[in-house]
Chains A and B, each alone.
Chain A
Amino acid sequence: MSLADVAAVILWAGVTFYALFGGADFGGGFWDLVAGGAERGERPRATIQRSLTPVWEANHVWLIFCLVVLWTAFPSAFYAVMTTLYVPLTVAAFGIILRGSGFAFRKSIEGLSGRRAAGATFAISSLLTPFFMGTVVGAIAAGNVPADGNGDAFSSWLQPLPLLVGALFVVGGAYLAAIFLVGDARRAGDPEMERYFARRALGAAVVAGALAIVGLFVLDSEAGYVHDRLLDEGLPLVVLSLLCGAAAIVVLLRGGRRPLRPLAGAAFVAVIWGWAVAQFPYLLPTGLRIDQAAAPDATLTVVLVVFGIAAVLVLPSLALLYTLAQKDLLESEH
């Protein structure tokens, strides 16, 4: 494994964490959006708010991590993506601003209408941001990003596969969020909310599964390279994802407790790594390989060292944060 490959694995680790935690975070916003009017949506929104508040900022630092690793370790890939997919990326960037500030403001803003406006901003951008991020991923997988950048600003992502991946991102996040919220509601001793989110987790799982099946056909026609490798080298991961996803559904249907989160998480992570395997050795299939895009070795070494430090310092700190949050030692009021 070359240094560049290791850097690519680090990038993918960042993508995985962002997809898991950032994805669940967006999903929380999605369920907030569809929770209904102020009266009806009060309890689910309260559950979502309690879960998200202490962790949402840390969850989103993974995005910055991914961007920084991409532009440092693979500057030409960053260039190609940014100069081609700037439309969905700009929407996603604005979405992140509106989402974060909407979430922060809605707790402290004066008056019901102000809170509603802030909350709606948060919830709608929770839908738009992952969707447009998904179109970026889909456009890359479809091979619509030329290796030397400056691809078409619209036709690169206004295609069935990117749009489908966008939808899949939204539904996947919603699925993860519902699974997390089932556990949080259970811990809070709220069986009604537990059932509420369990139903939604099931719904999201079904939709995600349906989208994934459609996706395989679209993949076949639009992204042949990725499709073929996904069903060949990537097949074990696809199967793993299916098994874990199915097992999670069984656990949900039986109202079971464990191991719901690990199963759902594994189903999700397996897809992400399946995609990585399917793209290998390309960063931008089939124009730019990992080794072609890689920065000089000294820079890659820095990325490695930084990730090593992150593994030693950041991961335990994150674990501490999540543990404190899960033990209800952190709360959104003091």
Chain B
Amino acid sequence: MPPFDLLPLAESSNLLAARNQMAWTLGFHIVFSCLGVALPATILVANYLGLKRDDEAAMELARRWSRAMAVTFAVGAVSGTLLSFEFGLLWPEFMDRFGAAFGVAFAIEGIFFFLEAIFLAVYIYGWKRLKPWAHFWAGVPMVVTGIGGAFAVVAANSWMNQPQGFTLNAAGKVVDVEPLKVLINPATGYEVPHMILAAYMVVGFLVASIYAVGMLKGRRDRLHRLGLLIPLTIACIATPVQLFVGDTAAREVADHQPAKFAAMECIQETGDDQTEYLGGVCTDDGVKGAIGIPGLDSFLVGFSTDTEVTGLNDIPDDEEPPAHTMLHLSFDAMVGIGTALLGLGLWFGFVWWRRRDIPRTPWFLRAVAVSGAGAIVALWCGWIVTEVGRQPWIVQGYMRTSEAVTKADGIWFTFALVMAIYAALTAITIGVLRAMSKRWREGGAEPEGGTPYAPQATTPTGRKPLDVSGNRPVDGGGA
């Protein structure tokens, strides 16, 4: 198989289009859902510090981040709504057969998302008129519901990987459901914490990277320092836990989804003493161009080089995941980036422990500046391993993706449309956030008034602009 053959041509054209559309829309949405899950906690830490220590720079950060969240949450909400439609538009047979089981998790997610949207609105728009601590506490439900929502959605995906808790009749229709078993399936225990930690890492490193760039440009005020420290600390706490959870997850995949594991580790022949390959291209004759560490793969799976690991030779051809090289490199990239981020965290932690300051070298800021993009790439790679690695199944062992796909016409057209819209959305979102930050830096009034696009759309906020150090002159109001 050629290394980057995403989907064998034998598969139907609709399947290719539908899988691509699903992959790109999920890949887009997952970044915004990370922001929905983990940004509230980051904001509330700043808000808490601001209130507790009467720290105007921390308060200003919380205000700014909550403004940015108003945009990212909106994009996340609408792109998530599209996914709900896509379940039916792209995978109708799947929903018909398994909606009764799989839907249980989404029904619960719906409640969490609802509550998050409500309290997010109260928090984002309550800065001026709510009492400061009441406002802070109105934000706390966002954190809880964000985590709850992530639990429910990822439990649904876990169920697709390790389905259980339902009874099928002869026609293959779900006739009985055990909701708790659907929710708490064998993959829930590692997929859910893996994703929630990933969200905290993505958000922490992403927000910190923005302030690292600012500091590299010479903006060394308290606002930038705190803007770097708060999210970076959160991310650096999450990272070691994440590596532990991820390591456990890989072992579970080796046990329960041997085809996925064999593909992502490029294991050709079943046996013990398996070599761990770093990088390289997977071919039927083994891995080419990789760094091989003899026995390590077996050791990582069972803590002994004697551990037998299933190879692709024991997986029936029609149950083998596609694109082995892509899976393998995605897995390696995720682990590699995670390890690098752990190193960044150790560096930061060590220097902070010694002298209560961030490392002085610009290389540290440069590393933080790329950590956000790195965390997002690792997130995508992880989902590629999970989702492409589950192929050809949509519900592992029960339903093939090719059986689930719609027969409707025009999926290539909607795919192209989605790509165009999402490319524009990505560009505009980044542009809007950058413009916001530029306005804040210049200390100007927000152009946002009651009027969306009137000839002169500026309304004075009645507050003095920030001075260069990110502090507001004394009588400047705020929460």
Contacts and interface: CB of A to CB of B under 8 A. Distances in A.
Most B CB atoms within 10 A — which of A57, A313, A328?
A: A57
Interface string B111-130: 10111011111101111111
B103 A331 contact: no
Contacts of A42: 451, 454-455
Given A82-B95, A104-B71, A110-B431, A72 B106 contact: yes
Nearest to B104: A302
B122 A68 contact: no
Helix, strand, loop or mixed for chain A's interface?
helix
A299 interface: yes
Contacts of B114: 58, 61, 65, 310, 314, 317
Contacts of B97: 75
B414 interface: yes
A171 B270 CA distance: 66
A196 interface: no
Most central of B88, B406, B450, B453 by chain A CB within 10 Å: B453
A46 interface: yes
Contact of B125 (A301, A303, A314, A330): A330
B84 A67 contact: yes
A331 B88 contact: no
Contacts of B86: 93
A65 B431 CA distance: 32
Interface centre among A73, A331, A333 (most CB of B within 10 A): A333
B122 A320 contact: yes
Interface residues of A, number: 86
A79 B446 CA distance: 47
Contacts of B74: 57, 100-101, 103-104
User: Most B CB atoms within 10 A — which of A60, A104, A325?
Assistant: A104
Given A58-B114, A69-B107, A86-B406, A295 B100 contact: yes
Nearest to A111: B435
Contacts of B358: none
A332 B71 CA distance: 12
B476 interface: no
B1 interface: no
A71 B95 CA distance: 7
B421 interface: yes
Contacts of B425: 97, 101
B98 to A, nearest CB: 8
A67 B85 contact: yes
A76 B175 CA distance: 13
A296 B177 contact: yes
Contacts of B177: 295-296, 298-299, 302
Interface of B: 63, 66-67, 70-71, 73-75, 77-82, 84-89, 92-93, 95-101, 103-104, 106-111, 113-115, 117-122, 124-130, 141, 174-179, 406-409, 414, 417, 421, 425, 428-429, 431-432, 435-436, 446, 448-455, 457, 459, 461, 479
Given A78-B92, A334-B127, 14 more contacts: A45-B453, A47-B450, A61-B113, A75-B100, A83-B92, A93-B86, A94-B82, A104-B70, A108-B71, A108-B448, A299-B103, A324-B126, A333-B459, A333-B461
Interface of A: 32, 38-39, 42-43, 45-47, 49-50, 53-55, 57-58, 60-61, 63-65, 67-69, 71-73, 75-76, 78-79, 81-83, 86, 89-90, 92-94, 96-101, 103-110, 112, 115-116, 118-119, 149-150, 153, 295-296, 298-299, 301-303, 306, 309-310, 313-314, 317-318, 320-321, 324-325, 328-334
